[in-house]
Amino acid sequence: MMENALLIHNKDDVAVVTQAIATGDKIVYADGQIIIAKEAIPIYHKIALRNIRKGEVVHKYNNIIGEAISDIEVGQHVHIHNVKSTAKK
């Protein structure tokens, strides 16, 4: 099965989908690992690869990209509706 998500770093909590994803689609990433999308995800958006609890930091590029503002389950869309920036202003 062909990959449809990109894991940028092996310590990341998210992958980036490389095509629009529908609820229930199989997400294939990192040499054949598979998860199921719990909701629709637009192309080039992030999908959770692990359960992330409210208040935990989220990693992409092996760096912190924000903090979860709600619980996020494996297969859910990760974006501004459930992650806030922790960047210093």
Q: Does 72 fall in a domain?
A: yes
Q: Does 71 fall in a domain?
A: yes
Provide the CATH number for the domain around residue 28. 2.30.130.110
Q: Does 89 fall in a domain?
A: no
pLDDT per residue over 46-74, tens digit each?
999 999 999 999 999 999 999 999 999 99
**Tally of structural domains, the chain:** 1
Residue 33: which domain range? 5-84
Q: Does 31 fall in a domain?
A: yes
Helix (H) / strand (E) element for 63: namely: strand 63-68
Minimal CA–CA distance to 11: which of 54, 52, 63? 63
Q: Does 60 fall in a domain?
A: yes
* Threshold 0.85, pTM exceeds: yes
